Copies of this chain bind each other. A is one copy, B any other.
Amino acid sequence: MSHTDIKSLDEFKILARKKTHRVLFNYFSTGAGDDQTLEDSKAAFKRFRLKPRIFRSDPNPDLGVSIQGHPIRVPFGIAPTAIQASAHPDGESATAKAAEGFGTIMILSSVSQTTIEDVRKSAPNAHLWMQTYVFKDRRNTIDIVRRAEKEGFEAIVVTVDSPVMGRFSQIRVKYEEFKEDESEEQEKQNIPMKSLVNVRGCPSDIERAKAAGDVNITQYVRNQIGESYPKWEDLASLRKLTNLPIILKGIISAESAREAVAAGVQGIIVSAHGGRQLDGVQAPIEALPEIVDALTGSNVEVYLDGGVRSGRDVFKALAIGAKAVFIGRPIIWGLICDGTSGVKQVLQHVEDELVNTMSLCGCNRVAEITPSLVMHESQVLSKL
């Protein structure tokens, strides 16, 4: 399968489901609570309809954008997702190589199974951003920022929607369900587990847990992150710590967006954490309009992740006012399917769809993707 053969990104998901362990597929694919936000984040994109303009398209539209002052080839990048080495043996390095080859940004998760240093080694010229939590032990955050700076990462992405973990013991439950028809021992051996090597202050809990036969991945991650309760003071400290742009990921309300501007950040990512934190949160694409509106006049760049499953979705987010979009789960499906090559195919498919959408809507550069080209279904007939 190559990207030119597929109709939609869902085909990567279908293939990935066959190629990975069920426990891991569940870990990557599911959300928190009743999965309302997980599903609604995707459905909400469809509630916006396109309103193309004719006779405006030139060949080869320019997808280039300037993100935090860096020219980036396309207005979409790779969202931070955890434990990529459980998706593919090459893990985060494979993803970084794809980002480098493709010419876009990869946000490296601090909950990774490859070190910051090794990821950089794999992709010396990649646009890398470093995601970090405000860890319970703040020294972990300092350590990660310092190392990211040293390795030439271009921004620090602070996840702000996770003062505590939002997912309950979902994985364990699902695990219990299918134990019935499989040998438990065999089950555990099949799960490709690696330590979370980036959070250096933490003991190697995964190794110990594996020895104890514990396969509850959510619990692993929860232990590494702890209950952190970040505050605006933490952001102020971080602001003093680094000259890198600081991006807040996980804002869904205009009020918090305004406070972020006042706090001097360089960007925010409108995000519901992939539906994995608080279920019932508004879909990012429907929260975007009021946030863009609230930040009019500021220099803070607004990005979005959550529910992006096609180049058309990227286009809609840009039209509403996002500067760029980040893609999460589809990258994991590509990674599972074929490592660096799989990730590139996913990115290429999105690019092809975005180029196509721009051409069909009459846009030759990203700046021409304006609000008049989309309409929310609740606005139908509102002009009459």
Binding site for B on A (CB under 8 A): 4-8, 11, 33-34, 36, 46, 48-59, 160-164, 166, 168-170, 172-173, 227, 229-232, 234-235, 248, 250-253, 255-256, 259-260, 277-283, 286-287, 289-290, 293, 310, 312, 316, 352-353, 356-357, 359-362, 372-373, 375-376, 378-381, 383-384
Question: Which residues on the B side are within 8 Å of A51 (C-beta)?
Answer: 252-253, 281-282, 287
Q: Could you tell me if A160 and B54 are in contact, using CB atoms closer than 8 angstroms?
A: yes
Most B Cβ at <10 Å: residue of A36, A166, A278, A280: A280
Question: Which residues on the B side are within 8 Å of A378 (C-beta)?
Answer: 380-381
Q: Could you tell me if B280 and A49 are in contact, using CB atoms closer than 8 angstroms?
A: yes
Q: Could you tell me if A52 and B286 are in contact, using CB atoms closer than 8 angstroms?
A: no
A255 to B48, CA, bound (A): 18
Question: Which residues on the B side are within 8 Å of A253 (C-beta)?
Answer: 51-53, 372-373
Most B Cβ at <10 Å: residue of A163, A289, A362, A379: A163
Give the contacting residue for A52; candidates B36, B49, B161, B373; CB below 8 A: B161
A6 to B5, CA, bound (A): 39
Most B Cβ at <10 Å: residue of A57, A234, A383: A57
**Closest approach, in angstroms, between the C-beta of A174 and any C-beta of chain B?**
9
Q: Could you tell me if A169 and B293 are in contact, using CB atoms closer than 8 angstroms?
A: no
Q: Could you tell me if A46 and B36 are in contact, using CB atoms closer than 8 angstroms?
A: yes
Q: Could you tell me if A255 and B383 are in contact, using CB atoms closer than 8 angstroms?
A: no
Question: Which residues on the B side are within 8 Å of A53 (C-beta)?
Answer: 253, 255-256
Q: Which residue of B lies closest to A312 (CB)?
A: B280
Q: Which residue of B lies closest to A315 (CB)?
A: B280
21 residue pairs of the A-B complex, CB under 8 angstroms, read: A5-B172, A6-B168, A11-B173, A34-B310, A51-B282, A52-B253, A52-B256, A52-B278, A53-B256, A55-B231, A55-B234, A56-B231, A57-B164, A161-B360, A162-B360, A166-B360, A168-B353, A229-B359, A279-B312, A282-B380, A293-B384
Question: Which residues on the B side are within 8 Å of A281 (C-beta)?
Answer: 49-52
Asked if A55 meets B230 with Cβ closer than 8 Å, knowing A281-B50, A360-B166, A380-B286, the reply is yes
Asked if A235 meets B50 with Cβ closer than 8 Å, knowing A163-B359, A286-B381, A312-B280, the reply is no
Give the contacting residue for A7; candidates B173, B290, B293, B361; CB below 8 A: B173
Oligomeric state, in copies: 4
Asked if A290 meets B169 with Cβ closer than 8 Å, knowing A52-B281, A256-B54, the reply is no
Question: Which residues on the B side are within 8 Å of A282 (C-beta)?
Answer: 49-51, 375, 380
Q: Could you tell me if A360 and B278 are in contact, using CB atoms closer than 8 angstroms?
A: yes
Give the contacting residue for A251; candidates B33, B54, B375; CB below 8 A: B54
Q: Given A51-B253, A53-B256, A55-B256, list of 8 further CB < 8 A pairs?
A: A7-B33, A8-B33, A54-B161, A164-B360, A278-B312, A280-B316, A290-B383, A378-B380
**Closest approach, in angstroms, between the C-beta of A206 and any C-beta of chain B?**
21
A51 to B291, CA, bound (A): 12
A20 to B326, CA, bound (A): 43
**Closest approach, in angstroms, between the C-beta of A356 and any C-beta of chain B?**
6
**Closest approach, in angstroms, between the C-beta of A107 and any C-beta of chain B?**
18
Q: Which residue of B lies closest to A176 (CB)?
A: B5
A-B residue pairs, 5 tightest by C-beta? A49-B282, A57-B163, A278-B360, A54-B160, A51-B253
Q: Could you tell me if B375 and A380 are in contact, using CB atoms closer than 8 angstroms?
A: no
